[in-house]
């Protein structure tokens, strides 16, 4: 008799009986034990990967901290650019009106803006110390 691979066709054609067909699906002791080991290894790997992912997200140099720092830097630079544009606008306006631009006049004009908390002129250093609503100082 010819050796036949247990499958549905062999069962249907009568080449094997029902018991032979079902025995092809049973596993030995060794095959059953490997499943538990694979499960334990998989769980351990998932725990390691999870801890690495959490550290990358919440650590000192993690995604959340980096995002907060970048947002703060962006806000600071945005205010700085607004101040620079405002100063250039004040200088241009004074030049068009034929007025001399002084540090004091720049500070007075800056105080008219709602987002500027304070603008203190320093005639000696020829600069203006500006504090914006978020507390940044320039």
Q: Looking at residue 61, what is its pLDDT?
A: 80
**Per-residue pLDDT tens digits for 46-99:** 999 999 999 888 887 888 888 999 999 999 999 999 999 999 999 999 888 888
Mean pLDDT of the chain: 83
Those residues whose C-beta lies under 8 Å from the C-beta of residue 94, and which sit 6 or more positions away, are 100, 101, 105
Helices marked H in 24-62: 29-58
Rounded mean pLDDT, 94-109: 88
Residue 125 DSSP symbol? T
Q: Looking at residue 126, what is its pLDDT?
A: 83
Lowest model confidence (mean pLDDT) among 22-26, 105-109, 111-115, 132-136: 22-26
pTM for the model: 0.57
Contact 129, 137 (CB under 8 A): yes
Give the span between the Cα atoms of 91 and 110, in whole angstroms: 12
Burial per residue of 106-120, b for 16 or more beta-carbon CB atoms within 10 angstroms, e otherwise: bbebbeeeeebeebe
């Amino acid at each position: 008799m010819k050796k036949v691979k247990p499958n549905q066709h062999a069962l249907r054609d009568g080449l094997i009986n029902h018991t032979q067909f079902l025995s092809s699906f049973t596993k030995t002791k060794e095959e059953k034990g490997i499943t538990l080991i694979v499960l334990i290894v998989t769980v351990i790997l998932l725990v390691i990967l999870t801890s690495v992912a959490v550290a990358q997200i919440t650590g000192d140099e993690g995604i959340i901290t980096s995002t907060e720092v970048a947002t703060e830097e962006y806000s600071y630079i945005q205010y700085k650019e607004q101040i620079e544009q405002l100063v250039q606008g004040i200088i241009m306006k004074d030049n068009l009106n034929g007025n001399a631009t002084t540090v004091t006049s720049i500070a007075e004009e800056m105080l008219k803006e709602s987002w500027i908390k304070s603008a203190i002129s320093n005639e000696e250093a020829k600069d203006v110390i500006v504090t914006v609503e978020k507390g940044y100082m320039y």
